């Protein structure tokens, strides 16, 4: 009932804020002099900027929820053997946070045997909600987009009006992961098997197969006794022979989340703390499953990134772009083997002059 009349969604990204109102989308770019490294460093100008933006929109008395992108969320998924193991992994997650723990709102979401730790800088969404409230907006929830990406088949971090509608309709999931809720822990329960719906879907699929087969026969695209030419039959044989086998399909890399990507950062320079700095920089993008160490060969000039086949192109580009902010020479390589880590970074001595 709380969300039945909600038509608007505020999407907070690393340096931008998007408002979806009906079919319209409005975007506010936030300068790095105001919002940097997931922290508001100029609170007064942040309030002034957002108030001016809302004033130009002239949208009043609006109900909405705030959604936090993966860019402004700290997250880690774990599987624990018992309660003690879970507490230890939670402690490691807290210690890895790049900002003070007192500034972070925490949610623990359980999916069967898996637990997802989520953290968000409270000041970012609290100040945003306060300014919206001053403009007669009713903010009923603050949620992470991370719980919706797989469920809605989202690619990357971009939202569309249709995806916004689907997110707003997920009332139970919104309640579970709401950062405004006093309850820190939530549990996602799989819905029971719907036999009638499944039977209907099976019937529709069978009907599609039958109609497609009849159409193909009519167009002589498949060979059947007494129908179609030998050439058509030969084409079908060639098509079947060229279809990838089940084992080949199993070898294709599946889509993984940032929190699932294992990264090793090796210090290949003589600069103390360089690997830890890269680790912290990647953590702000959501890559927090990272280990650091020293390279066997030091004082290398180039910084190298070796990606396994499990890492998709969007993540490769994002990681490479982040490292190019700190290093002048970044070389990307592919690793066809199944190594211990999805990404191995070896830092070099050639750094940007601003470092």
Interval 283-342: pLDDT, tens = 888 898 899 888 887 778 899 999 998 899 999 999 999 999 999 999 999 987 777 889
- At 203, the pLDDT band (50, 70, 90 cuts) reads confident
Q: How many structural domains are present in the chain?
A: 2
Q: What pLDDT sits at residue 234? A: 47
The answer to whether residues 14 and 159 belong to one domain is yes
Q: Which two tokens stand for residue 137?
A: 């907006």
Across 139-153, 168-182, 215-229, 245-259, the highest mean pLDDT is recorded for 168-182
Q: DSSP assignment of 118-147, as one string? A: EEEEHHHHHHHHHHHHHTT-EEEEEEETHH
* Residues 123 and 147: beta-carbon distance below 8 Å: no
Q: Which of 214-223, 276-285, 299-308 has the lowest mean pLDDT?
A: 214-223
Q: What pLDDT sits at residue 46? A: 93
- What backbone phi and psi angles, to 5 degrees, belong to 108? -115, 115
The residue from 187, 219, 241 where one domain ends is 187
The answer to whether residues 175 and 269 belong to one domain is no
Q: What pLDDT sits at residue 223? A: 47
**Residue 297 covered by a domain:** yes
Q: What is the CATH number of the domain that holds 299?
A: 3.30.70.2390
**Over 60: is that where the pLDDT of 16 sits?**
yes
**Residue 146 covered by a domain:** yes
Q: What is the CATH number of the domain that holds 144?
A: 3.30.420
As a whole number of angstroms, the longest Cα–Cα distance in the chain is 81
The residue from 150, 172, 187 where one domain ends is 187
CA-based torsion, 317, 319, 320, 321: positive or negative: positive
Beta-carbon contacts of 113 under 8 Å, excluding residues fewer than 6 positions away, are 79
Percentage of the chain exceeding pLDDT 90:
33
**Residue 224 covered by a domain:** no
The answer to whether residues 173 and 305 belong to one domain is no
The answer to whether residues 171 and 283 belong to one domain is no
**Residue 219 covered by a domain:** no
**Residue 340 covered by a domain:** yes
Distance CA(139)–CA(31), nearest Å, equals: 24
Give the 3-state secondary structure of 218-273: HCCCCCECCECCHHHHHHHHHHHHHCCCHHHHHCCCCCCCHHHCCEEEEECCCCCC
Distance CA(335)–CA(263), nearest Å, equals: 13
The secondary element (H helix, E strand) that includes residue 19 is strand 16-21
> Buried b vs exposed e over 4-25: b needs ≥16 C-beta within 10 Å?
eebebbbbbbbeebbbbbeeee
- At 33, the pLDDT band (50, 70, 90 cuts) reads very high
Q: What pLDDT sits at residue 96? A: 87
The answer to whether residues 16 and 164 belong to one domain is yes
> Residue 299 belongs to what domain range?
258-346
Q: What pLDDT sits at residue 39? A: 85
CA-based torsion, 29, 35, 184, 149: positive or negative: positive
The answer to whether residues 19 and 126 belong to one domain is yes
- At 192, the pLDDT band (50, 70, 90 cuts) reads very low
Q: What pLDDT sits at residue 198? A: 63
Q: What is the pLDDT of residues 54-95, one digit of tens each?
A: 888 877 778 999 999 988 888 888 888 899 999 999 999 988
Higher-confidence position of 2 and 148? 148
**Residue 240 covered by a domain:** no
* Residues 118 and 149: beta-carbon distance below 8 Å: no
Beta-carbon contacts of 197 under 8 Å, excluding residues fewer than 6 positions away, are none
Percentage of the chain exceeding pLDDT 70:
82
- At 129, the pLDDT band (50, 70, 90 cuts) reads very high
**Over 80: is that where the pLDDT of 1 sits?**
no
**Residue 163 covered by a domain:** yes
The residue from 162, 187, 212 where one domain ends is 187
Distance CA(175)–CA(163), nearest Å, equals: 18
**Residue 325 covered by a domain:** yes
Q: Which two tokens stand for residue 251?
A: 């070898």
Q: What pLDDT sits at residue 187? A: 67
Beta-carbon contacts of 135 under 8 Å, excluding residues fewer than 6 positions away, are 51, 54, 55, 60
Q: What is the pLDDT of residues 223-269, one digit of tens each?
A: 444 444 444 444 433 443 444 443 333 333 445 788 889 999 999 88
Distance CA(152)–CA(150), nearest Å, equals: 6
Q: What pLDDT sits at residue 269? A: 83
Beta carbons within 10 angstroms of residue 165's beta carbon: 14
């Amino acid at each position: 009932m709380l969300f039945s009349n909600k038509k608007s969604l505020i999407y907070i990204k690393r340096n931008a804020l998007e408002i979806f109102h009906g079919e319209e989308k409005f975007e506010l770019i936030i300068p790095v002099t105001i919002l940097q490294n997931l922290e508001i460093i100029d609170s007064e100008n942040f309030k002034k900027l957002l108030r001016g933006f809302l004033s130009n929109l002239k949208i009043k008395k609006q109900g909405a929820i705030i959604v936090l992108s993966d860019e402004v969320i700290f997250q880690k998924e774990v599987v624990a053997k018992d309660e003690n193991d879970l507490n230890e992994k939670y402690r490691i997650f807290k210690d890895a946070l790049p900002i003070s723990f007192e500034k972070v709102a925490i949610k623990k979401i359980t999916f069967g045997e898996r637990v997802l730790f989520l953290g968000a800088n409270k000041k970012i969404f609290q100040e945003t909600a306060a300014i919206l409230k001053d403009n007669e907006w009713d903010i009923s929830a603050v949620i992470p987009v991370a719980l919706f990406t797989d469920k809605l088949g989202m690619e990357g971090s971009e939202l569309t009006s249709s995806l916004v509608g689907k997110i707003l309709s997920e009332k139970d999931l919104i309640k579970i992961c709401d950062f405004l809720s006093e309850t820190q822990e939530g549990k996602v329960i799989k819905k029971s098997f719907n036999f009638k719906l499944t039977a209907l879907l099976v019937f529709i699929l069978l009907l599609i197969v039958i109609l497609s087969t009849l159409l193909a026969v009519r167009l002589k695209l498949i060979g059947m006794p007494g129908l179609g030419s030998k050439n058509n039959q030969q084409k079908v044989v060639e098509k079947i022979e060229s279809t990838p086998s089940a084992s080949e399909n199993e070898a294709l890399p599946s889509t993984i989340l940032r929190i699932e990507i294992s990264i090793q950062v090796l210090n290949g320079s003589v600069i103390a703390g360089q690997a830890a700095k890269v680790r912290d920089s990647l953590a702000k993008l959501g890559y927090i499953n990272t280990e650091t160490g020293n390279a066997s060969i030091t004082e290398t000039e180039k910084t190298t990134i070796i990606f396994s086949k499990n890492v998709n192109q969007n993540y490769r580009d994002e990681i490479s772009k982040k490292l190019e902010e700190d290093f002048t020479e970044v070389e990307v390589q592919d690793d066809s083997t199944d190594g211990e880590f999805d990404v191995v970074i070896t830092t070099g001595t050639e750094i940007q002059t601003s470092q």
